Amino acid sequence: MSEPRFSSLIAGQWVEGDGGHADENPSDLASPVGRYGTLDAARAAQAVDAAAAAAPKWALSNPQQRADILDAVGSEILARKEELGRLLAREEGKTLAESIGEAARAGQIFKFFAGEALRIPGEKLASTRPGVDVEITREPVGTVGIIAPWNFPLAIPAWKIAPALAYGNTVVFKPAEIVPGCAWAIAEILSRAGLPEGVFNMVLGSGRTVGQAMIEHKGLDALTFTGSVPTGHALLKQAAARALKVQMEMGGKNPLVVLADADLDKAVECAVNGAFFSTGQRCTASSRLIVENAVYDAFVAKMQARLAKVKVGDPLEPGVDIGPVASQAQLDTDLGYIQAGHDDGGELLAGGERVEWKTKGHFLAPTLFAARPTDRIAREEIFGPVAAVLRADDYEHALALANDTEFGLCAGICTTSLRHATHFKRHAQAGMVMVNLPTAGVDPHVPFGGRKASSYGPREQGRYAVEFYTTVKTAYTAA
């Protein structure tokens, strides 16, 4: 059986691209997922040309047509969630259960925005002038460039593509290089859903080539990006120079506060889930565990016991809790931060080493350090199964430590105190707050986004997505 080949989609046509690059399986490096070709800048520009050409007609399309297309896409994804989940698990490394759950979420997102296509808001107001009516309507912003990361290769593209199409925009979608299979799967479903040629385009290639060609193209009207802070800042500077509408999600260093009155067993489960599930490769991961001094030793002991039971291995095998790190580059980053933890004088409490498996892959034990607030592992986003635990004198100290970061995506607290929970929800400097829940794990129908260096521009997901994917028009009519 030949390996699958993943191509780009431009103006309704599949484009092979240059070279036959291996799509690596991080659980078994000897068994790639498939092969794919990358595009050059000229081909990427063709994709933007196609989207821009299709934009005027699609902007005036019937909302019921858009709703039916998105609903059909969602239904197919849900019907194939096990198949798509297996592809995701092999390509990115999530456990099969997590991967199937992500595929299901992607389908649900398309179905949610199928409904939103029929609920585009507007207003009619009385004018201050007699005999004049005022209408406020929302129109599509135009051609939207989507640059998505590798850690949620089905869900994040879904929550960008679906609203873009629902509100009448055309799309050029560039996935991360290490997940071409999941991107192709989404594109293949969309290619059969009844969209006119050029409304949806998917381009495989590097950010330096394909992404750069997209953002430089005058046919692009808006850009939504999820990825690293350095890349986001570089794109933001270029976008600002040409007044491009921008939405960015760029990471986090999320705190989970554990107070002395917390149920420690539940707090440990929140910490392990938030910090280490999905191999810690979530921008909402609990990478800083801030524990009140009175229960610090007990919490650490329970964490060590719990982590000793965590099984790392092939995500397709039953009983595996954590799959591999997604790539060699990310593994090198994780190992570098583990060394930094040692160099800064942190105490290794669990993990810290690679895990041997039946196949050669990027397996890493979940790693926990006792650290100081100034240590690199307590300040910089790692994006792997590495977390730091910090001591706090009391609630006020814990809150100060939680807010002592350049990021502000998500923050959590474990407590049985309604007073502290209420105060924390109000005073945590984050876009999302969790009480007695893991910081990682959000609903698809409500806003997603943060503050400070974590996010820029309007929120993603839910009804708030309309703020980015539409522009407002005010019209006056004299009777």
- Report the chain's terminal Cα–Cα distance, integer Å: 70
Q: Which of 91, 116, 177, 249 is catalytic?
A: 249
Q: Position of tokens 């806003």?
A: 447
Tokens representing residue 221 in the block: 């009207």
Contact yes or no for 205/57 (Cβ under 8 A): no
- Rounded to the nearest 10 degrees, the angle between the axes of helix 180-191 and helix 63-79 is 130
| 283 is annotated as an active-site residue | yes
Rounded to the nearest 5 degrees, what angle is found at the Cα of 385, between the Cα atoms of 383 and 387?
Answer: 90
- Cα torsion 281, 283, 286, 288 to 10°: value is 110
Burial degree of 186 (CB within 10 A; 0-12, 13-18, 19+): buried
The rounded distance, in Å, linking the Cα atoms of 201 and 11 is: 7
| 249 is annotated as an active-site residue | yes
The rounded distance, in Å, linking the Cα atoms of 216 and 209 is: 11
Q: Which residues contact 180 (CB under 8 A, 6 or more apart)?
A: 6, 23, 34, 36, 204
Q: Which of 24, 102, 182, 283 is catalytic?
A: 283
Q: Which residues are catalytic?
A: 249, 283
